Every structure is written in C-alpha cells, then in structure tokens.
Amino acid sequence: MTFGDKLTKAAQAHGPLCVGIDPHPSLLDAWGLSRTAEGLERFALTAVEAFGGRVSMVKPQAAFFEAYGSRGVAVLERVIADLRDSGTLVLVDAKRGDIGSTMAAYAQAYLAEGSPLAGDAVTVSPFLGFGSLQPALDTARENGRGVFVLALTSNPEGEQVQRAVGPDGRTVAQTIIDFATVRNSGISPCGDVGLVVGATIGETDADLAGFNGPVLAPGFGAQGGSVTDLKRLFGTDMRNVFPTSSRDVLRHGPDVSSLVSAVRRVQESL
C-alpha cells in the first residue's frame, strides 16, 4: 500500500484528527513529571497508550526528544515502534532539510525500512529548493511512506519567505504547492507528498484546488485554530485535511482516560 492508501484507510476508520506528542517542559511539570529522560519516557508512553489505535495519525515532535540526547532519541524510537505496533500511523515531526548526501542521510534515517527512527512519514523543509528534497521523496515512495512539506506555516516570520513573490509572479508557497501537485499527479486516491498549512494563517490566495495529497493543518485547538478556520481555508471538502492538536489534548494528562476523552471531544468537533 502507498502512504496515501494507508492514510485514507486510517481516516475512514478514525476520522481526520492527528494528535501531537510534544513533551514540552511545561507539560512535564503539569503532569508532575521530572524534566529528565525518565519523565520524558513516562509522558510519551502514557500518550501512546491513550492515542494508539484511536486516531488516524500521531505526530511526535522530535526536538523535544532530542533535547535529552541519546536517551531521548531512544524514547522516540520506542514511541515510533509502539505506535506502529498499535496500527497507528506515525508522522515524525523532524522538519529536516538539506542538500545532496546529507539529505539522503536524513531520508535513510526517517524513511528507510529498518531504521528505528522511521515512522510512516516525516516533515521536511523545502526552503533550500524543492529539488533538494528529491532523496526524501524517492526514499518515501520506495518504502510506502510519506513526506509532509512545509508550505504555509502560521509563525509570523514565515511570511517573509513563504509569501515572497518570485520572477514568475508566484509566491514561494505556491511554487511549493505546485511542485507537490506535480509529484502526486496520477496517484489515487491520495498522493504520498503532503503539505503543511497552518490552521491559523488567516487569509491566503494560495491555490490548493488541484492538489492531490494530504494537508496537515497544525494549530487547531490551543493555538486558536477552529473548524471555521479550516472551512475558510480549505472549503467544505476536507477529505484530505488532517487538523493537528497537541497541547489542547495533552493538557488533560496524565490520566489516560482523560486523554482519551479529550481526543473523542476533538474528533466529534471535526
């Protein structure tokens, strides 16, 4: 199965919600856990217990694990393995982006079969040129995995680059969208190259009409994104839109049943 096939099947079973596992220090504090590798592991595995088998996709934020060095990366590897064992798709939020052999190495780490850091997809940054992503795009397709490419993020600084207009009159974001559209051409029902479009970006003139791939919409919930925002951005047909909620769900921990209830409430709202 392609990644698009897997994601479509998961959404049909559980709805479109993607839940993040973001072990932010303030959340560790709120859960009564220490800011150590042991606290990180307890936090992350509790989240896996609550989310595994209940949502279409889970997105661990790699940076919060890397902050604890090799022990933190080992926890991330276990999170990926346990979620995949539960039948839940894993999107590793690593936002990697580089050129040549370095990008190829990132692709091997996060997308190659047998790598302990390989989930079902990874986030990547195209701002060294969309062509720089080729090793990741190829490795993903070869292994039935996916890639989510940053396009329109909701951080204020992103506008300087993403909405800049090139010589052909297109914004950088639109150029990224167009490259991703071509990459997914002819694939049904959903391509393996996704886009990241923030739920709170406000108004945009980006054209997503021809894009045949998944759209990750972070910022839903605690960051202010609402169902109304999603409809305004993507229209009424949101079959391939996957809103992401992290803190809005995680703040209900550490009780597993409370986390499960929070997930269900967000799913119902969607």
- Residue 20 CB neighbours (<10 A): 23
Closest CA to 146 of 16, 8, 263: 8
Concerning whether 9 is annotated as a catalytic residue, the answer is: no
Burial code (b: 16+ CB inside 10 Å, e: under 16) for 175-203 equals bbbebbbebbeebeebbbbbbbbbbbbee
Catalytic residue among 6, 9, 59, 95: 95
How far lies 264's CA from each of 31, 45, 120, 122, 168, in Å?
20, 19, 23, 25, 45
Helix or strand (DSSP H, E) at 93: strand 89-96
Closest CA to 4 of 239, 252, 260, 163: 239
Tokens encoding 264: 């269900």
Task: Fill in the DSSP letter of residue 223.
Answer: T
Cα(33)–Cα(26) distance, rounded to whole angstroms? 10
Phi, psi of 113 (to 5 degrees): -60, 135
Cα(50)–Cα(142) distance, rounded to whole angstroms? 31
Tokens encoding 27: 């959340």
Pairing of strands 121-124, 18-21: unpaired
Instruction: List the catalytic residues.
Output: 95
